[in-house]
A and B are shown apart, each in its own frame.
Chain A
Amino acid sequence: MTTLLAPAPPDVEGSRLHRLRHHEVTAWVTMLVASLASLVASFVLSVEAVTLAKDPDADLGCNLNAVISCGTVGTSWQASVLGFPNAFLGLVFEPAVIVLAVAGLAGVRFPRWFMLAAQVVYTIALGFAYWLFEQAMFEIGALCPWCLLVTLATTLVFFEMTYVNVRDDNLFLPRRVQAALAGFVRSNLDLVLVVAWLLVLVLAVVVEYGEALFA
């Protein structure tokens, strides 16, 4: 086996998890899977938006109880804050992420400005996703499973895109910041951060809705 012949890892960072994490395909595969999931969720939410437009009282498959209710979320003003259902944005933008991920897997190296632009656009998308999450949690008072999937997938794509861009020095950052971020990523602290981040989301949901979810 080649792994046995490979030179001994320099330190603990050479663990199997570390190698998997920093393997060329990992970030792109994660991005691809997450953006596909987001696209599916956007598609379902778009269909529901059309159904709700026809009949605001339509009984949707994911209206499980008062808390888990796509209908409640879908009929809120926040769900079409730009004048059309937010889910349409997913239908437009997720395929771009999918293409990006597939190209990355195929070994395409994009110009730095391209990746910087992708990072900027995706950061805005992340902000939007989290605004919606916050509104659903604390203003609308209901959760919709497909929206949560979009929140999760958007977070994963954001982290992987940032990982790639920090690793490849695509962000035109001051040298000291770039070096610090690269060290952060090399020591897998970004992985620690994303796990903690997602756990905070889970904690927020169970604290706010635990009883309703399990009652």
Chain B
Amino acid sequence: MSTHTRARTQAQRQVRQAEEARRARKRRIATAVGALVIVGLVVAIVVVVVQAAGKERTLPEVTGAVVAPANLTATGAVPVGDGAAPVTLEIYYDYMCPACGAFEAANGEELDRLVANGTARIELRPIAFLDEQSRGTEYSTRSAAAFAVVADAAPDRAWAFHTALYAQQPAEGSEGLTDDQIAAIATGAGVPAEAVDRLSDGTYRPWVASVTREAFDSGVQGTPTVKIDGAVFGGNVYQVGPLTEAIEAAAAS
């Protein structure tokens, strides 16, 4: 082999090696970027999970004098139906809570029937712990306070207003219904005009905050919490059937 050829093959090898080194460097950079992305994703997941886990206890502050609406039960709930019915069904709920909407959609008609035929009376306990989920409009508190006005001024329309609010439930994380929309729903549910005018006056906001705190202090973990004659119902409340059976069993015993 001539010196000339040897020099050429050597030059070729060097070019190849340089090429190879460049490629290896590219791969190392790509791997490093990939690793960074992975670390970023893991951090994001941890942050979201920690925030989600910590969020359920952000309760509204009680500011101002607590004025309870009229017509409450002795334990401070909004009653629906015949007070002499054998079974008492307590429902803790938040108007922003999607699970409560699912509960209402599944069981609403059955509850109508059980109240109408005198099997059960319902004690509604509106609470507001999802105010952070309505982009600063505090929909949970606003809607619960509006409900308290109806309970106070037009107690026979409370259940109709309650179910109408869930029928038009806004998505969690949206701004919620406006005060005007809530008023229109109340009018549609047969709430008299003088009560509709008071819905957004905020009279019962401190009451909502205080019953929310009392609910969590009493061991409520989230919504919907459903109690039959004081005992938490642990069955499936998102499909029609189990709750009805439990109520009817309680009525029969």
Interface residues of A (CB under 8 A from B): 11, 57, 59, 63, 65-67, 69, 71-72, 141, 183, 187-189, 192-193, 195-196, 199-200, 202-203, 206-207, 210-215
Residues of A close to B53: CB separation below 8 A = 210, 214
The minimal Cβ–Cβ distance linking B240 to chain A, given in whole angstroms, is 6
Q: Assess whether B242 is in contact with A59, with CB atoms less than 8 Å apart.
A: yes
For the complex, what is the distance from the CA of A202 to the CA of B239, rounded to whole Å? Answer: 27
Cβ proximity bits B2-23 to A, threshold 8 Å, 1 near / 0 not: 0000000000000000000001
Q: SS class of chain B's interface: helix, strand, loop or mixed?
A: helix
Q: Using CB atoms and an 8 Å cutoff, list the residues of chain B in contact with chain A.
A: 23-24, 27, 30-31, 34-35, 37-38, 41-42, 44-45, 48-49, 51-53, 55-56, 98-99, 102-103, 221-222, 236, 238-242
Residues from chain A with a CB closer than 8 A to the CB of B221 are 215
In the complex, the chain A residue whose C-beta lies closest to that of B99 is A66
Whether the pair B27, A187 counts as a contact (CB closer than 8 A) is yes
Chain A residues lying within 8 Å of B56, measured Cβ to Cβ, are: 211, 214-215
User: Which single residue of chain B is at the shortest CB-CB distance from A12?
Assistant: B28
10 tightest Cβ-Cβ pairs between the two chains A and B: A210-B52, A192-B34, A66-B99, A199-B41, A187-B27, A66-B102, A215-B222, A214-B53, A211-B52, A206-B48
Q: Which of B45, B103, B239 contacts A59 (CB 8 A)?
A: B239
A57 touching B241, Cβ below 8 Å = yes
Cα of A196 to Cα of B38 in the assembled complex, Å: 5
Residues of B within 8 Å of A67, CB to CB, are 99
For B100, give the chain A residue with the smallest CB separation: A66
In the bound complex, what is the Cα–Cα distance between A78 and B17 (angstroms)?
Answer: 55
In the complex, A187→B221 CA distance in Å?
Answer: 49
Partner of B38, one of A141, A187, A195: A195
**A57 neighbours in B (Cβ, 8 Å):** 239-241
Report the separation of the CA atoms of residues A186 and B85 in the bound assembly, to the nearest whole angstrom: 73
Query: In the assembly, what is the distance between CA of A212 and CA of B34, in Å?
Result: 31
Q: 24 A-B pairs, CB-CB below 8 angstroms? A: A59-B239, A59-B242, A63-B239, A65-B238, A66-B103, A66-B238, A67-B99, A183-B27, A187-B27, A188-B31, A189-B34, A195-B38, A196-B37, A199-B38, A199-B41, A202-B45, A206-B45, A206-B48, A210-B51, A210-B53, A212-B98, A213-B52, A214-B56, A215-B52
Q: Note all chain A residues with C-beta closer than 8 A to B49.
A: 206, 210, 214
Known: A63-B236, A206-B49, A207-B48. A199 touches B35 (CB 8 A): no
Chain B residues in 8 Å Cβ range of A69: 238
B43 to chain A, nearest CB (A): 10
Closest Cβ neighbor of B236 among chain A residues: A59
Report the minimum CB–CB distance from A56 to chain B (whole Å): 9
CA distance A39 to B239 in the complex (A): 28
Indicate if the CB atoms of B52 and A214 lie closer than 8 Å: yes
Contact indicator A65/B99 (Cβ below 8 Å)? yes
Report if A206-B52 is in contact (Cβ < 8 Å); known contacts: A66-B98, A189-B34.
Answer: yes
Which residues of the other chain, B, contact A214 by a CB distance below 8 angstroms? Answer: 49, 52-53, 56
> With A and B bound together, what is the CA distance between A200 and B222 in angstroms?
28
Given contacts A63-B236, A66-B99, A188-B31, contact A203 B242 (CB under 8 A): no
Given contacts A187-B27, A189-B27, A214-B53, 5 further A-B contacts (CB under 8 A): A66-B99, A189-B34, A199-B38, A200-B41, A212-B98
Cα(A66)–Cα(B238), bound, Å: 6
Complex alpha-carbon distance, A214 and B222, angstroms = 10
CA–CA, A211 and B221, complex, Å: 13
